[in-house]
């Protein structure tokens, strides 16, 4: 570990933004189908976001903001952090993530 990374939090697994999305939906008693209706996204897309297969694009982040009241910058940040952590872990451990 380099001196610059010594005091930095480096997770052992990436936090999938879709897991946070699913938690928010559950807290609000909203189904994926209702989110599909509110965002105009396809059911498959929402499901793949939740599973971490499909990234949250800036456009999707804006749709989530309108549908859930959670700022787009929050979703964009989660996605960016996820992709960065994923790349870091893949570099550290190979392609197993």
- CA distances (Å), 81 to each of 14, 43, 46, 74, 78, in order? 8, 24, 19, 11, 5
Residue ranges per structural domain of the chain = 13-91
**H helices, E strands: number in the chain:** 5, 0
pLDDT at 89: 85
The pLDDT tens digits of the residues spanning 58-74 come to 999 999 999 999 999 99
**pTM of the complete model:** 0.81
Question: Which CATH architecture is the domain 13-91 placed in?
Answer: Orthogonal Bundle (1.10)
Nearest C-alpha neighbor of 88 from the set 80, 19, 75: 80
């Amino acid at each position: 570990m380099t001196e610059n990374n010594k005091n930095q939090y480096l997770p052992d697994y990436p936090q999938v933004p879709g897991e946070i999305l699913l938690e928010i939906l559950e807290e609000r008693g909203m189904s994926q189908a209702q989110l599909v209706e509110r965002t105009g996204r396809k059911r498959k897309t929402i499901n793949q976001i939740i599973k971490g297969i499909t990234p949250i694009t800036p456009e999707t982040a804006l749709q989530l903001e309108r549908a859930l009241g959670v700022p787009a910058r929050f979703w964009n940040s989660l996605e960016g952090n996820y992709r960065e952590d994923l790349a870091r872990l893949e570099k550290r451990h190979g392609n197993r993530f």
